[in-house]
Structure 1
């Protein structure tokens, strides 16, 4: 009986002390990214990221999308950013958040391994309940390598 109680106590301690993962920042990625001051980024790169990100979200207002060129985006972004995909997403966004108004640059991160920059924009919509983020990743050659829409969180999780 004492062994059973001792074994149960040990199991409870082991289960109770189980570590949990930090979901806000992946350590492998955290060591590869550095937050940078927005003022340190060239205006050309900031403007290009803003214009390309805004072009995607303006599709929700106009229902027209000018496809990215090879000078603006990587081949995978060009292939994945289609009028059909954007229309599906936009229908949902307009229903829940209203009309897209503008983007506000909040912060930027550089990825050390390839010198690309992740721009975090707060997407502003006509409905006050909208709390969306647009994340635009620009390569060192000023091409969009990723565009992602997420729910806004103050603590970043780059993945």
Structure 2
């Protein structure tokens, strides 16, 4: 009985060490790529900056101009309600202070969905917490997603 048990363990060990098959190179051609700003159409760059800036400027002025169907997808328009923006602005203003501006960090392109993601560093009055703005522009030159993310400080 012990010999059968040991034999099964050895067989299980050998089977688990089986090498994996190599993956195809076609996956690499569909990988998300970082692109330079000169490679992106100016309408995409301008739209990402303008709508992101307009949204964040709302925190300073408390006046939100609703996105039009030419600028953003219906999902973004439905989610960008004055009530939701006001609640988010209250939280951000308490922690970060007044909104000052945006600085482009990088642009990535996803060939599968044909979307450009613009990543901006948001400048605030208080420098304690850093936040980034992500604006996604689809192939129809409409904003399909807007989000902010707090960046954790790196230990020294």
Q: Partners in 2 of 1:43 and 1:124 — Cα distance?
A: 23
Q: Which runs of 4+ in 1 moved over 4 A?
A: none
1:50-89 to structure 2, matched below 5 A, reads 50-89=49-88
Q: Tell me the CA shift for residue 75 of structure 1.
A: 0.6
CA distance in 1, matches of 2:106, 2:144: 18
Gaps of 5+ in 1: 1-27, 155-159
Determine which structure has more spread, i.e. the larger CA radius of gyration: 2
Distance 1:130 1:44 in 2: 31
In structure 2, list runs of 5 or more residues that go unmatched.
Answer: 1-26
TM-score, normalised with respect to structure 2:
0.76
What is the aligned partner in structure 2 of residue 105 from structure 1? 104
Alignment of 1:130-141 (within 5 A): 130-141=129-140
Note the alpha carbon deviations across 1:76-127, whole angstroms, 9 max, x for none: 0000011000000000111000000101011010011121100000000011
Say whether the 8 Å CA contact 2:129–2:151 is kept in structure 1: no
1:153 Cα shift? 6.4
Structure 1 Cα separation of the partners of residues 140 and 47 of structure 2:
12
For residue 47 of structure 1, give the secondary structure of its aligned residue in structure 2. helix
2:148 is aligned to: 149
Q: Distance in 2 between matches of 1:137 and 1:146?
A: 5
Other structure's SS at 2:120 match:
strand
Number of aligned pairs?
A: 129
State the structure with bigger RCO (CA 8 A, min sep 6), 1 or 2: 1
1:74, 1:32 → 2: CA distance?
25
1:47 maps onto 2:15 in alignment:
no
Is residue 121 from structure 1 mapped to residue 120 from structure 2 by the alignment? yes
SS of the aligned residue for 1:93 comes to helix
What is the CA–CA distance in structure 1 between the aligned matches of 2:46 and 2:106, rounded to whole Å?
Answer: 14
**TM-score, normalised with respect to structure 1:** 0.75
- Could you tell me how far apart the structure 1 residues matched to 2:52 and 2:117 are? 12
